[in-house]
């Protein structure tokens, strides 16, 4: 059943059209250009889905090979961008690093006209993992890594640069799934940010920079990091249950649960949960996954709140040795496809987005002289 949508936060109001995805129309379904996300996550690589979202159709074998080769060739970073990254402090949040990296790229490789929109998007898709890993490894390990790896996929490129070795097949596959699940989600807050920016006829880098800022918050993409910070403090399922009940009694918001559109489940959860369980067996974990499952049970039993896409991403990423503060940047590496496709869609049928406000302030009044104010 679809969620009843009304009230603040523009909930339930149609703010534009899209042919890119449907979210929660049947209560819990998600499709990208008509394909069920579950089927895409089962059968496709992320690059196929990026191609689908950005170019409108699934690629043929040859088109996919060409697209991947093109993305591989675009992984390098200009020296001026590396110089900027080297100056950003170690304790900066990687989402701020990515926001600055994207903005700097826009200075160095500016989108001069909209004919370049596919090219600048491909470039960002190829080099965002390089930006984040170059900064991370420079500030944390003191090394200037080679970002031009020959890895087959974006996810493998990321893990290779992060860990200094090629990922296992299992990890490469989980990255495909994760990036597919995060790729596109209709008019969520960050995508809407990108579309508002696009509606002023601004450039692609500005739209994406703004969207990164919106995704950073814990009510949106930042929830995967917040969920990790919570579950890593639980030592057993019993401990998790006790703490969760305390949080609920104190009316705290629990990150990784609930959704603005879905009513009783997020279709991405069962998929990433399944992979998280596989990874937990792979690493021999007997705490984090059972703790996560208990959190899910308690939230449903007590509040009928379900895990959204972010919750089991936390344990899955942790099992792959990814530092918590890099979780949301991975979301960016993927959602970039959705953002850019929405920018292109907005540009193709544009009117500046400019809603109205209901005024709740003072009636008209005159300005008192400085000496008469208190
Ligand atoms: C990929 C993504 O961006 S998915 C979203 C990631 N964000 C999170 O996980 C943050 C935690 N979740 C939330 O804050 C919210 O569920 C949101 C922001 C996702 C959606 O917000 P809304 O649409 O306003 O939520 P909704 O209307 O369903 O809330 C209903 C009630 O449940 C409560 N609720 C919703 N989510 C939670 C939660 N995670 N923990 C505790 N209570 C919650 C709300 O406070 C509200 O209670 P109230 O009526 O007493 O105020
Ligand atoms: O749609 C939303 O509001 C948030 C979300 O799940 C996403 O952006 O993936």
Ligand nearest to the CA of 248: 1
Which candidate in 176, 185, 220, 313 is catalytic? 220
- What's the rounded Cα separation, in Å, for the pair 123 and 110? 11
Contact present, 244 and 299 (Cβ < 8 Å): yes
Structure token digits, residue 10: 């523009």
Do strands 21-23 and 30-32 pair parallel, antiparallel, or not at all (unpaired)? antiparallel
Q: Output the tens digit of pLDDT for each of the chain's 374 residues.
A: 777 788 889 998 999 999 999 998 877 799 999 999 999 999 999 999 999 999 999 999 999 999 999 999 999 999 999 999 999 999 999 999 999 999 999 999 999 999 999 999 999 999 999 999 999 999 999 999 999 999 999 999 999 999 999 999 999 999 999 999 999 999 999 999 999 999 999 999 999 999 999 999 999 999 999 999 999 999 999 999 999 999 999 999 999 999 999 999 999 999 999 999 999 999 999 999 999 999 999 999 999 999 999 999 999 999 999 999 999 999 999 999 999 999 999 999 999 999 999 999 999 999 999 999 99
Q: Which CATH class is domain 223-319?
A: mainly alpha
- Burial (CB count within 10 angstroms: exposed 0-12, middle 13-18, buried 19+), residue 103: middle
Query: What pLDDT score was predicted for residue 7?
Result: 83
Active site residue 160: no
Closest-CA residue, ligand 1 atom 41, reads: 253
- What's the rounded Cα separation, in Å, for the pair 139 and 16? 42
b/e code 37-63 from CB counts within 10 Å (16+ = b): bbebbeebbbbbbbbbbbeeebbeeee
Other CB atoms closer than 10 Å to residue 232's CB: what's the count? 15
- Enter the pTM of the model: 0.97
Helix (H, G, I), strand (E, B) or coil at 52: helix
Contact present, 345 and 18 (Cβ < 8 Å): yes
The fold of 21-217+324-348 is Citrate Synthase; domain 1 (1.10.580)
Helix (H, G, I), strand (E, B) or coil at 128: helix
- What's the rounded Cα separation, in Å, for the pair 170 and 167? 8
Chain CA centroid to CA 317, Å = 13
Structure token digits, residue 34: 């008509």
DSSP label at residue 200: T
Query: What pLDDT score was predicted for residue 39?
Result: 97
Query: What pLDDT score was predicted for residue 182?
Result: 98
Ligand nearest to the CA of 211: 2
Query: What pLDDT score was predicted for residue 34?
Result: 96
Active site residue 310: yes
- What's the rounded Cα separation, in Å, for the pair 193 and 215? 9
- What's the rounded Cα separation, in Å, for the pair 319 and 283? 7
Helix (H, G, I), strand (E, B) or coil at 44: coil
Query: What pLDDT score was predicted for residue 27?
Result: 72
Closest-CA residue, ligand 1 atom 7, reads: 219
Cβ(193) to ligand 2 under 6 A? no
Nearest ligand 1 atom to alpha carbon 188: 3
- ipTM of the assembly? 0.97
The domain segmentation of the chain, as residue ranges, is 21-217+324-348, 223-319
Q: Which residues line ligand 1 (CB under 6 A)?
A: 219-221, 223, 253-260, 305, 308-310
Return the ∠ at Cα 361 (arms to 16 and 194), rounded to 5°: 25
| pLDDT tens digits, one per residue of 77-106 | 999 999 999 999 999 999 999 999 999 999
Ligand nearest to the CA of 334: 2
Cβ(84) to ligand 2 under 6 A? no
Same fold, 21-217+324-348 and 223-319: no
DSSP label at residue 219: T
């Amino acid at each position: 059943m679809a969620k009843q949508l009304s009230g603040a936060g523009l909930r339930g109001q149609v703010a534009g059209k899209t042919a890119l995805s449907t979210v929660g129309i049947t209560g819990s379904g998600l499709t990208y250009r008509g394909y069920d996300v579950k089927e895409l996550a089962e059968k496709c690589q992320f690059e196929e889905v990026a191609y689908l979202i950005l170019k409108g159709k699934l690629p043929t074998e040859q088109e996919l090979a060409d697209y991947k080769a093109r993305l591989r060739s675009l992984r390098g970073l200009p020296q001026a961008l590396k110089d900027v990254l080297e100056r950003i402090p170690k304790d900066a949040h990687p989402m701020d690093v990515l926001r600055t990296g994207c903005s700097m790229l826009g200075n160095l490789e500016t989108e001069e006209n909209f004919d370049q929109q596919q090219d600048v998007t491909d470039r960002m898709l190829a080099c965002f993992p390089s930006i984040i890993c170059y900064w991370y490894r420079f500030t944390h390990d003191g090394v200037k890594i080679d970002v031009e790896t020959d890895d087959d996929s974006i996810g493998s490129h990321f893990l290779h640069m992060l860990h200094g070795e090629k990922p296992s097949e299992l990890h490469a596959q989980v990255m495909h799934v994760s990036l597919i699940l995060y790729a596109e989600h209709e008019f969520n807050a960050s995508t809407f940010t990108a579309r508002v920016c696009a509606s002023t006829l601004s450039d692609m880098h500005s739209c994406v920079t703004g969207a990164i800022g919106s995704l950073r918050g814990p009510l949106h993409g930042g929830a995967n990091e917040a969920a990790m910070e919570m579950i890593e403090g639980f030592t057993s399922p019993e401990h998790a249950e006790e703490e969760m009940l305390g949080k609920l009694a104190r009316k705290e918001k629990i990150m990784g649960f609930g959704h603005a559109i879905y009513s009783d489940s997020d279709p991405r959860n069962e998929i990433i949960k399944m992979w998280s369980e596989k990874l937990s067996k792979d690493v021999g974990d007997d705490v984090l996954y059972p703790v996560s499952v208990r959190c899910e049970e308690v939230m449903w039993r007590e509040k009928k709140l379900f895990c959204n896409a972010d919750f089991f991403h936390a344990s899955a990423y942790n099992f792959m040795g990814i530092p918590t503060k890099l979780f949301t940047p991975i979301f960016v590496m993927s959602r970039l496809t959705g953002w850019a496709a929405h920018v292109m869609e907005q540009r193709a049928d544009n009117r500046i987005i400019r809603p109205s406000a209901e005024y709740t302030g003072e009636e008209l009044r005159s300005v008192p002289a400085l000496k008469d104010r208190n």
